């Protein structure tokens, strides 16, 4: 999984009671765009993420 700053991390739900989560990637800490990523979630919380197989990256707006 590769990402750039400004892309979106999408994590699918593993339960019917919860929804998919999407957060903006603020920093990419791995080599060549690899995880971990610093992500800002919609509630404003920022966290360092090591995405699992239920995650994907959606490109952010291009300059």
Span 10-62, pLDDT tens digits: 999 777 777 889 999 999 999 999 999 999 999 999 999 999 999 999 998 86
pLDDT, position 48: 97
Closest Cα to residue 54, out of 15, 4, 5, 7?
15
Q: How confident is residue 63, by pLDDT bands cut at 50, 70 and 90? A: low
pLDDT, position 14: 76
pLDDT, position 51: 94
Name the H helices within 1-63: none
Kindly state whether residue 23 falls inside one of the protein's structural domains. Answer: yes
Kindly state whether residue 2 falls inside one of the protein's structural domains. Answer: no
DSSP-based three-state secondary structure for 32: helix
Kindly state whether residue 3 falls inside one of the protein's structural domains. Answer: no
- Hey, how many other C-beta atoms are within 10 angstroms of the C-beta on 47? 11
Q: How many domains does the chain have?
A: 1
Kindly state whether residue 18 falls inside one of the protein's structural domains. Answer: yes
Kindly state whether residue 24 falls inside one of the protein's structural domains. Answer: yes
Residue 45, CA distances (Å) to 22, 35, 61 in order: 12, 18, 21
| Structural domain that includes position 23 | 8-58
Confidence (pTM): 0.87
């Amino acid at each position: 999984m590769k990402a750039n700053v400004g892309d979106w991390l999408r994590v699918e739900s593993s339960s019917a009671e919860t929804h998919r989560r999407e957060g903006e990637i603020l920093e990419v800490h791995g080599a060549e765009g690899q995880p971990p990523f610093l992500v800002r979630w919609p509630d404003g919380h920022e966290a360092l993420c090591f995405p699992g197989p239920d995650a994907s990256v959606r490109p952010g707006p291009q300059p």
